[in-house]
Structures are given as structure tokens and as C-alpha cells.
A and B are shown apart, each in its own frame.
Chain A
Amino acid sequence: SAVISQKPSRDICQRGTSLTIQCQVDSQVTMMFWYRQQPGQSLTLIATANQGSEATYESGFVIDKFPISRPNLTFSTLTVSNMSPEDSSIYLCSARTGGSAEKLFFGSGTQLSVL
């Protein structure tokens, strides 16, 4: 199994600022992902964080708004840029080990509130 540490666990930010969320895995993983969970809604995949190259974004998400880094096999960051109240969500990091979708682990999430 893999243990994922995500920080901060929560933050309250002002409109127009940016927040970087960090995700650290205790072992090397093949893939890392970032999800968003808006209030009362399901988890939505933002992007796949690729080690050493640009992230792969899902429809509706762009790099300028959600820049992602993954400098090595155990660490990734997600930045929420130029925040607005609509960005208030829980952001979740996940990591995949092995070759099957069921070996997918999640961090405990970052609760972001934008005023």
C-alpha cells in the first residue's frame, strides 16, 4: 500500500491569490492524479501528473489555472491560481501503484475556501 500526505489540510484564501497544495507519497508510484470535489458533488479528475513532463488535463481544466508539477516519482504539487469563490472545493491527490486501477490510494484532501 501507499501512504499519501497532503498539505495543507485546509486553507482560507482571498480572491485573486494562489495556493499550492503538496502531495507526498511514501513510496514510488507509477501515476499521480489530482481530483476536485465541489460542495455536494462527486469527485472530478483535474489532471494526471506526469513525472518529468507536462500534466495531462481533463476537459474543462487548463494549465494556466491549475499548474501541476511532478519532479519525481513520490511528489507532486497542484496550484490553484487567481482564485475565485467558485474554486472553493476539496482537492484530492491520488497515486496509483502497480498495473491495475484498484491499487489507487488517496490523500485526505485539502479543503479550500475562497473569500
Chain B
Amino acid sequence: GDSVTQMEGPVTLSEEAFLTINCTYTATGYPSLFWYVQYPGEGLQLLLKATKADDKGSNKGFEATYRKETTSFHLEKGSVQVSDSAVYFCALSGSSNTGKLIFGQGTTLQVKP
């Protein structure tokens, strides 16, 4: 079945460092891909998405490109801030578009000043 694999955390970076969180997926058909973020004490929020191959999702300085050839959707940010400290989840939805999501295990990011 469909699945999502994320790099294990926690990831600890200094402020202004470059961030990459790896995400790879296995799916039939053509899924949509998402990154969600969960700040401490808050619910999951959609960070960015991509719905087809070579699409680049971006938001708040974060980017991820839908790479069908490598089945990847890595999250990147050029310069992280302390306020980016959160748990990041990669997810996919199947081509049936039912609203169901399959999540990766989440990666905790800690940014130190």
C-alpha cells in the first residue's frame, strides 16, 4: 500500500542554517504531496503542497519539489529561525482524492539561537 518515509529526528540546527528534511513515498497512481507543521501546543497546519510531478510548493521560505523519478518531496529552507522549531510531517493523498492522508512519522526540528 501507499506509504511515506521521513528522515528521523530530531534535527538540531543553529539559526540561519540551511534545512533539509528528506521525504520519500510509495504510491500507486499520481498522489498529491504535502508538508504539515505542528508547532508546540497547536494543531497540524498545512505548510505547502504539490499536486503533480515537478510542481514546487512554497510557503514561509520553505520549499519542496515533487520528484516523481526519485519519488521524493524533500523540504528545504535556506535560513531557519528559532520560530521554525516544530514537528514536520510529510503526507500524501491518493489519486481518489477522498481527503484521507497517509503521513510520515514526523521530524522534530529544533533551532537554537
Residues of A near any B CB (own CB < 8 A) = 4, 6, 30-31, 33, 35, 40-45, 48, 92, 94, 96, 99-102, 104-109
Contacts and interface: CB of A to CB of B under 8 A. Distances in A.
Interface stretch (B60-68, B70-78, B100-108): B100-108
Contacts, number: 57
Contact of B104 (A40, A42, A109): A42
Interface residues of B, number: 23
B82 interface: no
A104 B46 contact: yes
Secondary structure at the A interface, as helix, strand, loop or mixed, is strand
Interface of B: 4, 32, 34, 36, 41-46, 49, 89, 93, 97-106
Given A4-B43, A92-B44, A102-B32, A45 B101 contact: yes
Nearest to B46: A102
